[in-house]
Amino acid sequence: MCVAEPDNDDHLALCGVSRLRGAGVMEAHVDRLAGMSRIGWSVLCCAKYGATNRVVGTKWPVQSGIGSKEEREPDVPGAIVAEGLTKRFGDVLAVAGLDLTVPEGTVLGLLGPNGAGKTTAVSILTTLIEPDSGTALVAGADVVREPQKVRERIGLSGQYAAVDDVLTGYENLEMIGRLYRFDRRRARQRADELLEQFELTDAAHRPVKTYSGGMRRRLDLAGALVAEPPVIFLDEPTTGLDPRSRLGLWEVVRDLVARGTTILLTTQYLEEADQLADEILVIDHGTAIASGTSDELKARVGGERLDLTLGNEAQLETAVMIMRAVATGDVEIEREQQRIVAPVDAGAASLMRVLRELDERGIELHDLSIRRPTLDDVFFALTGHTTAAAQSAGDGDGLPADRREVRTR
Amino acid sequence: MSFDSLTALVHDSAVIAKRNIIKIRRVPDVLVFVLISPIMFVLLFAYVFGGSIDIPGSNYREFLMAGIFVQTVVFGATFTGAGIADDMQKGIITRFRSLPMSRTAVLAGRTASDVVYNVLSLAIMMATGFIVGWRIRDGIGEALVACVLILIFAYALSWVMAYVALIVPSPEVINNASFIVIFPLTFVANTFVPSQNLPRLLQIFAEWNPVSAATQAARELFGNIPHETPQPEAWALQHPVLYTLVWSVIIVAVFAPLAVRRYRRQA
């Protein structure tokens, strides 16, 4: 910290550089200001640092990522810190040595296909199941040794709305409040507040089974917020929701973050992680395979994708050749769908080039498009297999893992 | 937290029991079944068996009634099992597990709220019994003691079914699984026929079966045992109230911790 080293001007200057992007100006001024009161310097430095931190807010680069060391915020304890978590169900290693850190007031997006271990990881961190090994601290409490303390400090909202169908929305929230040991008055008051906040007041006294999917999910999230916990877990909060409900939920999440809540969010959608998460952790087969900010991940998987579907199977090899010529990375081939996906970086120019060559060789096109990378592409780029293949391997549904994937190059 | 664990257990169980009672009111189908089946039992046994079995010196219909009461509440324990098995399938259990509430409360709240079912079915059966000629021959006070004893015994058994519900793989199995326990208990007993008419081995089982003791206790307290009936030989049937209470305590002491441990472990 700057204040810790007030009597070393060189160090101070370095400190300024490392904390402030574009601090070159300050560095240049160090010599000139050498005569200035050292304490004054420290104050200036730290005040400025504080301001930067506030402005950047929750978008401040987070730990455990690929982000450059200089940009990481030091000395802030993670609201969620997990090390070496493992959990086995019979023959399946659902979580295999997972490490993760979520600094206070930030959002970590846990991204992965079905069966990647996201829900198991959340279940461990929310004390629903005990890990076979590894440790985790959530809001300062150990999930294995102090589960009740953890439960007092977290909220959980999941894919399968954890609310009672037969009770009304109001009754559900009041019951949850009572189970947090609120007295009757406070439980009722909190239920009313949350129903209002989530626009459920009109439906407050209807049984939950009459609610739409979006309304249930909102109620479920409201249930997680009853005790205003500092840490919230959202397990695939928008899976199965219509686009409008999804946007509404995103708004709620942003609002929570603005109030300083720490959030761990699992999702199958890159876009959702992109929209909400400060840092994304990609997991597959229970372990982290990549982490970073959304931009960093996208940079890793390359730019846009050229997505080609053929009309004639016999021409697949030729088409693959053409695609490889423009690709900036591995080309993904799905033989059954006669589909070839290639990462490209020249945008429309790549599209034009492929189109021209396909035409010259008389290759029948069914579809050719250029698009932004999807989770499938991130996955393919990181693991060499698609999410569908990961799923079928994980679920053991009899589909061979290599049916959809052909690794090239 | 200012709550010690017992206060927490009572408080949280009350919240859960309240939730279950709201559900009883809101899903009346279950309630209808709970109330109709006892009427059916009383009428069926009173008229089908009542006319064909003769007990010297006694009115069989009157002898039968306490047996039907006990048998019905024992069957009623299945509702506890069904309720818990059903809850375990639902998302709300995830919520309960993630809350800083007592781990025992979900089960304790369920067994407590199911007493409501038993109170209702007992009341219905007594009313039906009264219509077909059954009478309380001793004091009202003794009759109330009989009712409370039956309810305590039923409460204890609902912990057995709570445990069964947590070890069966799916709610569909719960009925069959519980019948394996309930049928021998209720039939190899003095519920429908006096135990002295049974083969020796079954007779011993029947005499020491807590269902027999509960039935015997209820019969005595309702004044449904004629004076000329000889004293039963087994100690259990000579002290049926005490014997029933001891069994109820043992059942809860064994099955409540088993069920709670099972609930904690289940994901």
Query: pLDDT, tens digit, for every residue of B219-241?
Result: 999 988 877 777 888 898 999 99
Pairing of strands A279-284, A287-292: antiparallel
CB B5 within 8 A of CB B12: no
Instruction: Provide the pLDDT for residue B234.
Output: 87
Instruction: Provide the pLDDT for residue B11.
Output: 94
| CB contacts < 8 A (A, B) | 73
Number of domains in chain B: 1
Greater confidence (A39 vs A348) lies with A348
Indicate yes or no: CB of A158 within 8 angstroms of CB of B8.
Answer: no
Indicate yes or no: CB of B267 within 8 angstroms of CB of A123.
Answer: yes
Top-ranked range on mean pLDDT: pick from A234-243, A270-279, A363-372, B103-112: B103-112
Instruction: Provide the pLDDT for residue A1.
Output: 37
Q: Residue B54: which pLDDT band, with cuts at 50, 70 and 90?
A: low
Instruction: Provide the pLDDT for residue A258.
Output: 92
Shortest alpha-carbon distance between residue A172 and chain B (Å): 9
CA separation for the pair B155, B74 (Å, rounded): 9
Shortest alpha-carbon distance between residue A161 and chain B (Å): 6
CB A253 within 8 A of CB A83: no
CA separation for the pair B223, B237 (Å, rounded): 15
Instruction: Provide the pLDDT for residue B3.
Output: 53
Nearest CA in chain A to B3: A181
Indicate yes or no: CB of A162 within 8 angstroms of CB of B101.
Answer: no
Instruction: Provide the pLDDT for residue A278.
Output: 93
Q: What is the mean pLDDT of residues B62-80?
A: 89
Q: Report residue A222 as tokens.
A: 């409201």
B47 φ, ψ to 5°? -95, -35
Q: Residue B198: which pLDDT band, with cuts at 50, 70 and 90?
A: confident
Q: What is the mean pLDDT of residues B110-115?
A: 94
Name the residue range of residue B176's domain. Answer: 3-266
Indicate yes or no: CB of B19 within 8 angstroms of CB of A175.
Answer: yes
Indicate yes or no: CB of A127 within 8 angstroms of CB of B98.
Answer: yes
Instruction: Provide the pLDDT for residue B126.
Output: 94
The answer to whether B169 faces chain A, any CB pair under 8 Å, is no
Which of B3, B22, B98 is nearest residue A128 as measured by Cβ atoms? B98
- Residue A109, SS3? strand
Q: What pTM was estimated for this model as a whole?
A: 0.75
Tell me the HSE value of B9 on the side-chain side, using a 13 A CA sphere: 9
Q: Report residue B220 as tokens.
A: 């005595």
Q: Which helix (H) or strand (E) holds B62?
A: helix B60-89
Shortest alpha-carbon distance between residue B31 and chain A (Å): 15
Q: Residue A73: which pLDDT band, with cuts at 50, 70 and 90?
A: very low
Greater confidence (B54 vs A118) lies with A118
* pLDDT reading at A40 higher than 80: no
Instruction: Provide the pLDDT for residue A387.
Output: 61
- Put simply, the chain B residues between 64 and 103 with a CB less than 8 A from any chain A CB are 90-101
Q: Residue A375: which pLDDT band, with cuts at 50, 70 and 90?
A: low
The rounded mean pLDDT for chain A is 76
CA separation for the pair B127, B123 (Å, rounded): 6
> 């394996």: which residue's tokens?
B180
Best of B2, B12, B87, B95 to disrupt the A interface (most A CBs within 10 Å) is B95
Question: What are A272-294's pLDDT values in tens digits?
Answer: 888 899 999 999 889 998 888 88
Q: Report residue B243 as tokens.
A: 């014997």
CA separation for the pair B108, B91 (Å, rounded): 19
Chain B residues with CB under 8 Å of A129 CB are 267
Instruction: Provide the pLDDT for residue A385.
Output: 67
Instruction: Provide the pLDDT for residue B55.
Output: 65
- Residue A155, SS3? strand
Indicate yes or no: CB of A160 within 8 angstroms of CB of B23.
Answer: no
Greater confidence (B60 vs A43) lies with B60
What's the ipTM?
Answer: 0.87
Q: What is the mean pLDDT of residues A200-206?
A: 95
Instruction: Provide the pLDDT for residue B57.
Output: 61
Question: What are A78-137's pLDDT values in tens digits?
Answer: 699 999 999 999 888 999 999 999 999 999 999 888 888 999 999 999 999 999 999 999
Instruction: Provide the pLDDT for residue A388.
Output: 58
